[in-house]
Amino acid sequence: MNTFSIAIHGGAGTLVKGMMTPEKEIEYRSALKNALDGGYQVLENGGTAVDAVEEAVKRLEDSYLFNAGKGSVFTAAETHEMDASIMDGESLNAGAVSLISGIKNPVSLARDVMDKSEHVFLAGDGAMEFAKNNNHAIEDSAYFYDEFRHKQWIEIKDTDSFQLDHAKKKDSKFGTVGAVACDQKGTIAAATSTGGMTNKKFGRVGDSPMIGAGNYANNETCAISCTGSGEYFIRGVVAYDVACLIEHKEMSLAAAATEVISKRVLKLGGDGGLIAINANGEISMPFNTEGMYRASKSSNGEEVVSIYK
Ligand code: ASP
C-alpha cells in the first residue's frame, strides 16, 4: 500500500506570535486538527484524494476563523464573493468557481463543475445558476457576518489601493484555505477556497480558483494549494511552476516548492506560501511570511499542526 497523507493550510501572513491570545491559538489549532482528521479519515477508509481534499476544505469553510466559506472577508460593496477550485492528479480533471455568493461550501460547487459539467471554470451569475440546478445550500448574509471581518473592512473601506497596501504594509493575513492529499493508490489532488481580499472590487479574482496559479495536481509531479498575494501568484503561475521544476529540472518536491516560494515569488514582490504533496505521500509546506496556518498527517505516523516558523 502506498503511504497516504494529507496537508492543509488556513492562510499565510504576518502571524506575529504574541498578537494572538492563547485561547484564539487553541481555537485555530483545533479547527486545523478537525479539518486534518476529516480528510485523513477519508484516506484511511480507502477514499480518494479528491474526496479527502474536499472534506478537509469543507471543514475549513465551515469555520469562521478562515477567509473562505463562512469566514469570507467583505468586498467593497459589503458583500462576499468567493472563489474555489479542485483538481484530480490522475485524470487532470479540474473544476473551479469564482465570484459566487451565499454558497455554503464553494469547494463542493467546484467539485460539481468538475464532475457534472463539461467545463472547468464557471463564474458569477452562471455559476450561481449551476449551483441552484445542483441543489447547493445557499446561506443568507447573516451566516457570513463576522464582527472581526466587518471591522477589517470598515478600516479600509474608503481607500481604493487596498491591494497595494496589503502587499506593502506586510501586516496582512491571508486566510485562504486549501488541502492536498495522496491516497492509498498513489493518486494526488488539490483544493483551494477563498473569500479573496478585503475591500476588493471590480470583480477582482485572485489565484485561488485559477488552475496552475493557486491550485494544481498531477500524479506525475505534485499537488499544490497556495495562499498569499494572489496577483503575484497568478503572474508567477506558482502552482504549475513547482510542477515544472520537478518535471523539467528533476528537483525534489521540497526543493522545487522552496525555490518558488523563497526565490521566485519573493523576486516578483509577492508574499505567501503553499502546501505540496507528491504521489509518494511526501509533503512540503514552505512560506515566506511570518507564519502559515498549516497541518499535515501521514500514514507513516508523522503529524504536524503549526502556525509560526
Ligand atoms: N490568494 C488569495 C487571493 O489572492 C488570498 C489568500 O491567500 O488569502 O485571493
State what percent of residues in the chain have pLDDT above 90.
81
Split at pLDDT 50, 70, 90, the class of 162 is low
Count Cβ atoms within 10 A of the Cβ of residue 267 and give its class: 0-12 exposed, 13-18 middle, 19 or more buried: exposed
Cα 300 to averaged position of ligand 1 atoms, centre (Å): 31
Cβ–ligand 1 distance for 295 under 6 Å, the answer no
Closest CA to 297 of 15, 36, 54: 36
Q: What's the pLDDT tens digit per position in 66-78? A: 999 999 998 988 9
The better pLDDT of the pair 280, 199 is held by 280
Is the model's pLDDT at 227 over the cut of 60?
Answer: yes
Split at pLDDT 50, 70, 90, the class of 40 is very high
Q: Which position has the grid cell 501572513?
A: 13
Please give the pLDDT value at position 160: 67
Please give the pLDDT value at position 172: 60
Domains of the chain: 5-308 (3.60.20.30)
Q: What's the pLDDT tens digit per position in 249-259? A: 999 999 999 99
Give me the residues paired with residue 227 across strands.
Answer: 273
Split at pLDDT 50, 70, 90, the class of 161 is very low
The better pLDDT of the pair 20, 183 is held by 183
Please give the pLDDT value at position 168: 40
Please give the pLDDT value at position 82: 97
Secondary structure of residue 42 in the 3-state scheme: helix
Cα 171 to averaged position of ligand 1 atoms, centre (Å): 14
Instruction: Kindly give the number of the ligand 1 atom that is closest to the alpha carbon of 205.
Output: 9
> Mean per-residue pLDDT for 19-29?
90
Q: Which amino acid is at 199?
A: N
**What is the DSSP secondary structure assignment for residue 232, as one 8-state letter?**
H
Is the model's pLDDT at 166 over the cut of 50?
Answer: no
